Amino acid sequence: MLAHVEMGGGIDWHASWWGMVVDGINEEPGHPGLRLRDCLTEVNGTSLKELELEDCEQRFADLFGDGCEVIVEPHVELAGLLTNETGIDRTSLQADLERFANDWGLEIGIEDGAKPTTIRIVMSGPQSAIKSSKDELQGLMKFYAEAGS
């Protein structure tokens, strides 16, 4: 990572359960390869994962500086379709997905699928969060798929 004495790191970010999430990147000092919503999970060999938000911010602030080494996880999206043949209760589905997203520190939403009988589910967040939560989401979708068939 690069940092400038007067401009700092040139990155806007916020703490999450998974590390520091990039909200904005200034042109100076520049960070080639870093993208919006990527997650810095480790600084100089010290993990930022599974910390309270204040602790994550403080640990990052203590370790960040010009030349520090970071591990960056890409922000990814996972999308799937849920069949809605008999009318899934979208209000309940939305509420369950919001709870799921809060539990896992992810973003998740529902939208109409290409066909009137499908609902598109889109989950996004740090790669490890998506991977860790995938089985639980599949169980939740199985519940709704069985309820909607």
Q: Which of 73, 100, 115 is the last residue of a domain?
A: 73
Q: Which domain holds residue 95?
A: 76-147
Q: Are residues 61 and 91 in the same domain?
A: no
Q: Are residues 55 and 89 in the same domain?
A: no
User: Over 70: is that where the pLDDT of 70 sits?
Assistant: yes
Q: Are residues 96 and 135 in the same domain?
A: yes
Say which range, 56-65, 70-79, 80-89, has the weakest mean pLDDT. Answer: 80-89
- For position 115, which CATH number holds? 3.30.1370.10
Pairing relationship of beta strands 39-43 and 19-25 according to DSSP bridges: antiparallel
Pairing relationship of beta strands 70-73 and 75-83 according to DSSP bridges: unpaired
User: Over 60: is that where the pLDDT of 4 sits?
Assistant: no
User: Over 60: is that where the pLDDT of 137 sits?
Assistant: yes
pLDDT of residue 5: 47
Residue 8 DSSP class: B
**Span 11-22, pLDDT tens digits:** 788 999 999 999
Number of domains in the chain: 2
**86 or 2, which is more confident:** 86
- What value does the CA radius of gyration of the chain take, rounded to a whole number of Å? 19
User: Over 80: is that where the pLDDT of 31 sits?
Assistant: no
**136 or 89, which is more confident:** 136
User: Over 50: is that where the pLDDT of 64 sits?
Assistant: yes
* Residue 39 within any structural domain of the chain: yes
pLDDT of residue 148: 54
Q: Are residues 21 and 47 in the same domain?
A: yes
CB-count burial class (<10 Å; 0-12, 13-18, 19+) for 22? buried
pLDDT of residue 28: 64
Q: Which of 54, 73, 92 is the last residue of a domain?
A: 73
* Residue 6 within any structural domain of the chain: no
Q: Are residues 68 and 81 in the same domain?
A: no
* Residue 5 within any structural domain of the chain: no
Q: Are residues 46 and 102 in the same domain?
A: no
Say which range, 17-21, 63-67, 134-138, has the weakest mean pLDDT. Answer: 63-67
* Residue 66 within any structural domain of the chain: yes
Q: Which of 57, 73, 89 is the last residue of a domain?
A: 73
Q: Are residues 27 and 46 in the same domain?
A: yes
Q: Are residues 95 and 140 in the same domain?
A: yes
